[in-house]
Amino acid sequence: MDKKIVRIILILVIVCVVLISIMYATRWFAQEIYEDVSNMTPPGPEVPSVTYDVDKAAGTITITSIEGNSDELVWSNVELLESYLDFNATLPTGTIDEGDVITDCEGPVALVWKPSGAIFYPRNIRLIC
């Protein structure tokens, strides 16, 4: 009877070791595939780093600093995100420079960087005029 119990325990241990090995092999294989696919996908266009000064009384947003690819820093690459919220603003034209002012702001303003579709302002700032 003792030999049967030892055999059963030995079989259970072997089954557990095999299952754990399969689990780790599957995880390793999935990680390798993920890394290969990630390396195949080219990175999208980067969103410029920008900071703003919001003047609610005047209804303006002034760009205080901007860093990015100078060839892409044009206002035609920025658009107002239309949503269910009522808001309005007038974007400048031409190149995006420090000191540019977004005028006629009313309510929350959401700007989108067209080349990547990303939001064009720091996440910790809500542009509300």
Q: What are the φ and ψ backbone dihedral angles of 17, each rounded to 5 degrees?
A: -60, -45
What burial class does residue 52 get, using C-beta atoms within 10 Å of its C-beta: 0-12 exposed, 13-18 middle, 19+ buried?
Answer: buried
Q: Length of the chain in residues, anyone? A: 129
pLDDT at 43: 66
pLDDT at 123: 45
Higher pLDDT, 29 or 124: 29
Quick one: three-class SS letters along 72-107? CCEHHHEEECCCCCCCEEECCCCECCCCCEEEEEEC
Q: Which residues contact 79 (CB under 8 A, 6 or more apart)?
A: 91, 111, 112, 114
pLDDT at 71: 82
Residue 75 CB coordination number (10 Å): 15
Q: What is the pLDDT of residues 68-120, one digit of tens each?
A: 887 888 999 988 876 545 667 888 999 998 999 988 887 777 788 888 888 77
DSSP code, position 126: -
Q: Which residue type sits at 129?
A: C
Q: What is the pLDDT of residues 2-61, one digit of tens each?
A: 888 999 999 999 999 999 999 999 999 999 988 888 777 666 677 888 888 888 888 888
Q: What are the φ and ψ backbone dihedral angles of 126, each rounded to 5 degrees?
A: -105, 125
pLDDT at 34: 87
Read off the pTM.
0.58
